[in-house]
Amino acid sequence: MIETLRALYEMGGLARRNPAFVASDVRRSWAVVKTMRQFRLDNPTSPWSGKPVKEVHHVVPVAVGIRLGHPEWAADPANMVAMGSRNEHYILGHMNKSWRAWNSNLRETIGQGRVAEWATLKEIATLESSDPE
């Protein structure tokens, strides 16, 4: 598994020049898919909202891991967090800004049981009520 991810990284400069391109293949690799499925089984609820898990978020994005020379982080359960909904994923994991943005303090935010200044509980409640499950 890790050998396959490492081989993708060592494809020359492609991974370092275009990590998002390589990351899309890494995210679809069987090793990553299998690990994410198992992670969902091992973590059935969101640590922040307590809702059943709908999505799994990479704490350090796959493209960033590839750029830093660690494509194996994509399949590392320690780099994953369970999210209760797509909106929770976007607001907490991507700071309610863009799917390309990422919250480098995600574990701290979840551990404190509160959302940082960029998203209030009211915003989440409003979005959750409109979230098609």
The number of domains in the chain is 1
Burial (CB count within 10 angstroms: exposed 0-12, middle 13-18, buried 19+), residue 85:
buried
**What tens digit of pLDDT does each residue of 65-109 get?**
888 888 888 899 999 999 999 998 998 888 888 888 888 888 887
Average pLDDT for 12-41: 73
pTM over cut 0.85: no
Domain membership of residue 108 as a residue range: 2-129
